[in-house]
Amino acid sequence: MARTLAMILAGGAGTRLFPLTQTRTKPAVPFAGGLRLVDLVLNNFVNSDLLKIYLLTQFKSQSLNIHLRQAWYLSGLTGNFIDAIPAQMRMGKRWYEGTADAIYQNIRLIEQHDPDNVCIFGSDHIYKMDVRQMVRYHEKSGAALTVCATRVPIEEAHRFGVIEVNENFRMTGFEEKPTHPKPLPGNPTMALVSMGNYVFDAKVLYKSLYADAENKLSNHDFGHDIIPKLYKDKQVQVYDFTQNKIQGETNTHYWRDVGTLYSFWEAHMDLLECEPQFELNNEKWPLRSYHPPVPSARILADEKGNHSTILNSLISSGCKIVGSRVERSVLGFNVHLGAGSRLQECVILGRAHIGAGSYLNRVITDKGVSIAPGTEIGVNPEQDKARGLTVTEEGLTVIAKGMRVGFE
């Protein structure tokens, strides 16, 4: 494992998560009250004792850089590191033109370490994975490339790279975001798709990237260009995510792409089940992040003696809930609820002031939001749109960072 280097792609603009990505890159979006999306992949590597990590950043990276400095600083004395690398235009005056180009523009960083294996992972999925098990599978198979894969419903497969394999899980077909995805043999309702997590033999990676960079017709993307060519000429293995085991857990195969506002909201609702598919509490697989210096949450009765009611919810530190009802909701740091306010299936990212008597239904709020007393949101979509709020096709209402709502 000491001969393995990690390159994490953390520069995504996340346009489908707008307005949550209005001021930050997608990996910096808060999740589950006290985490950021990037924390999931970093915890996977750190808990796997793989501690030579570069994060490649690009769009609106300041919030991400601050978080990495606060939560993920490693001393260089041991040779381990977690370093954020901004887009530096090393290969010319251009931004990254695709996932493969992002790695190509930083290929000198890889060559300096002379690794045997290079892990290339995304940073915006919700899952747990012992990366060592995938690296061992890759080395044992002798593959040029190993792609991590999971199964998704066939109607969702068009959003991913769809994989075909033989009986030994060697890749025999690959199509990036196909219009008509091929289902699993014998199961027309499911497809095998790439999770965007790769382990490359370093020499194969160098050769593939240099050849791709010279191809003027390439999209310079792993899914569109590198993998479709490589599996035809080299041994490309597929690592079955369902074979990965997490110490201290039995249900470890949850994986969700939170590329849209609705999937982001759904992932939070998944956390609130009595037996959640994604477990936040596992002492053998801690989920590290930055915890601000705020006091414990306070759940209080109001001045009239009306008690607060909390049902199936996550409440973060610094919250103050006064005579309110919170049902199936996630509250980040420093959320204050006034007397008589009600939240139902909401995700409050943090630092929000929700006035007395307000009612929020299926609402996502970014940080720094203030809501006037007696305001209803998520009840009348046309009224929400008139206030400048984002309303999705699925009926979610999203409030951008720093907005003041209902103070007309």
**CA 318 to chain centroid:** 24
CB atoms inside a 10 Å sphere around CB 10: 29
Given a contact cutoff of 8 angstroms between Cβ atoms, the answer to whether 315 and 299 are in contact is yes
122 is in an annotated binding site: no
Q: How far apart are CA 57 and CA 95, in angstroms?
A: 11
Q: How far apart are CA 388 and CA 407, in angstroms?
A: 13
177 is in an annotated binding site: yes
CB atoms inside a 10 Å sphere around CB 249: 15
194 is in an annotated binding site: yes
Q: How far apart are CA 95 and CA 271, in angstroms?
A: 36
At 408, list the tokens: 């007309």
Q: How far apart are CA 244 and CA 261, in angstroms?
A: 28
Q: How far apart are CA 42 and CA 70, in angstroms?
A: 14
176 is in an annotated binding site: yes
At 278, list the tokens: 């994604």
Q: How far apart are CA 19 and CA 396, in angstroms?
A: 13
Alpha helix stretches (DSSP H) within 313-404: 381-386
Q: How far apart are CA 323 and CA 353, in angstroms?
A: 14
* Closest to 38 measured CA to CA, from 29, 47, 46: 29
- Owner of token pair 């075909």: 164
Q: How far apart are CA 148 and CA 142, in angstroms?
A: 15
Helix, strand, coil share of the chain (percent; to 5): 25, 30, 45
Q: What is the largest CA-CA distance in the chain?
A: 74
Alpha helix stretches (DSSP H) within 92-130: 99-104, 107-113
207 is in an annotated binding site: no
Helix (H) or strand (E) holding 37: helix 37-47
Q: How far apart are CA 101 and CA 149, in angstroms?
A: 22
Helix (H) or strand (E) holding 235: none
Binding residue positions:
96, 161, 176-177, 194
Binding-site annotation, residues for alpha-D-glucose 1-phosphate: 96, 161, 176-177, 194
